[in-house]
């Protein structure tokens, strides 16, 4: 196995460790950093066959660093690697920001890496963490260095370089895709709740069943799946609001979705009043 088959994935969260497992299955070596992470991360990393390494060792050995962290940590991670990348004087790995961050944030991360003389690619992971026997999520890649990442395909990852697209485009793709899928979930939740408040819930369900059966079937999955994720979607909706831009009135669509998800997250963790109403509308729970 050549040194070019070594990559780093920081950090070993649910997505990062699942990607690492896929890479290891394809003969790759995956380094990771456990700095600041707890015991669960350590166990996940070990179970996925990841090797702990310091930042200097990662820069010395890895061909690529995949940054897969919570959105709020993305810029800080890029800035943390600027110093070791500067020390490598252009011979270090390509730094790929795979996180669900706004366009401005990913550009700032790219500038931090570029100032250190490093190479930077904007990445967007669309799909769920890879599972054995499934294709796994798509890795969209944009920026001038995106073509340098063909080795990831050999490591079992479904890469989709965006020809000619600048840094920011992959993040824009992720935001706009999430805006459609999670925006639809917000629209549906808002209308189900308002219809139920007005006594029109059963008729709305009946009319959707007749004239929009595909949407109703979708809601039966996507709305209950949302409850446990709504707390994470608040910041994502706010990032989409900023991505649209305050000059466009439709940015309010996503500000409103953020407010709804904040309330539903609290409800799902507590009284289950509104989420219970949605469940009853969908017929997934007995009338109460």
Contacts with a second copy, residue ranges (CB under 8 A): 103, 126-127, 138, 140, 142, 160, 162, 165-166, 168-170, 172-173, 175-177, 179-181, 183-184, 186-195, 198-200, 202-204, 206-208, 210-212, 214-215, 243-245, 248-260, 262-263
> What distance in Å separates the CA atoms of residue 159 and residue 137, rounded to the nearest whole number?
9
Closest to a second copy by CB, 46 vs 262, is 262
Q: Which is nearer to a second copy, 18 or 186 (CB)?
A: 186
State the nearest-atom distance from the C-beta of 133 to a second copy, in Å: 18
Nearer to a second copy, 36 or 133 (CB): 133
**Cα–Cα distance between 227 and 225 in angstroms, integer?**
6
Q: Give CA–CA dist 152/154, Å, rounded.
A: 5
258: closest CA among 236, 274, 277? 236
Closer to a second copy by Cβ: residue 153 or 184: 184
The C-alpha atoms of residue 41 and residue 75 are separated, in whole angstroms, by: 20
Backbone angles phi, psi at 118, to 5 degrees: -90, 170
Q: Which is nearer to a second copy, 14 or 248 (CB)?
A: 248
Name the helix (H) or strand (E) containing 85.
helix 74-88
Dist CA 169 CA 46 (whole Å) = 34
As given in the structure block, the two tokens for residue 96 are: 């790929």
Radius of gyration for the alpha carbons in the chain, expressed in angstroms and rounded:
21
CB of 151 to a second copy, least distance (A): 21
Nearer to a second copy, 93 or 179 (CB): 179
Q: What whole-number distance in Å separates Cα of residue 168 and Cα of residue 150?
A: 20
Closest CA to 96 of 62, 123, 125: 123
Q: How far is the CB of 260 from a second copy (least distance, A)?
A: 4
In the complex with a second copy, the residue whose CB is nearer, 60 or 268, is 268
Nearest CA-CA partner of 16 in 42, 45, 39, 43: 45
CB of residue 173 to a second copy, shortest distance in Å: 4
Q: Smallest gap, in angstroms, from Cβ of residue 105 to a second copy?
A: 13
For residue 270, the minimal CB distance to a second copy (Å) is 18
Q: How far is the CB of 30 from a second copy (least distance, A)?
A: 26
């Amino acid at each position: 196995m050549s040194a070019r088959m070594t990559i780093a994935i920081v950090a070993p969260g649910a997505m990062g460790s699942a990607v690492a497992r896929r890479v290891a299955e394809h003969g790759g070596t995956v380094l990771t950093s456990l700095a600041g992470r707890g015991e669960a991360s350590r166990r996940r990393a070990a179970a996925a066959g990841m090797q702990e390494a310091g930042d200097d060792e990662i820069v010395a050995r890895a061909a690529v660093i995949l940054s897969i962290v919570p959105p709020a940590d993305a810029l800080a991670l890029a800035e943390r690697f600027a110093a070791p990348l500067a020390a490598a004087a252009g011979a270090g790995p390509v730094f790929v920001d795979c996180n669900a961050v706004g366009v401005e944030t990913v550009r700032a991360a790219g500038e931090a890496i570029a100032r250190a003389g490093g190479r930077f690619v904007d990445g967007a992971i669309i799909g769920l963490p890879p599972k054995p026997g499934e294709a796994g999520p798509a890795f969209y890649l944009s920026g001038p260095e995106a073509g340098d990442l063909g080795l990831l395909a050999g490591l079992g990852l479904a890469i989709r370089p965006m020809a000619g697209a600048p840094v920011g485009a992959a993040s824009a793709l992720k935001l706009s895709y999430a805006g459609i899928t999670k925006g639809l979930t917000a629209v549906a939740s808002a209308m189900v709740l308002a219809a139920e408040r007005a006594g029109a819930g059963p008729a709305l369900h009946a009319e959707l069943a007749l004239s929009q059966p595909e949407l109703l079937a979708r809601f039966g999955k996507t709305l209950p799946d949302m409850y446990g994720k709504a707390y994470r979607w608040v910041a994502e909706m706010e990032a989409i609001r900023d991505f649209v831009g305050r000059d466009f009135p439709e940015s309010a669509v996503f500000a409103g979705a953020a407010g709804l998800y904040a309330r539903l997250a609290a409800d799902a963790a507590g009284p289950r009043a509104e989420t219970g109403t949605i469940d009853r509308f969908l017929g997934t729970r007995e009338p109460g």
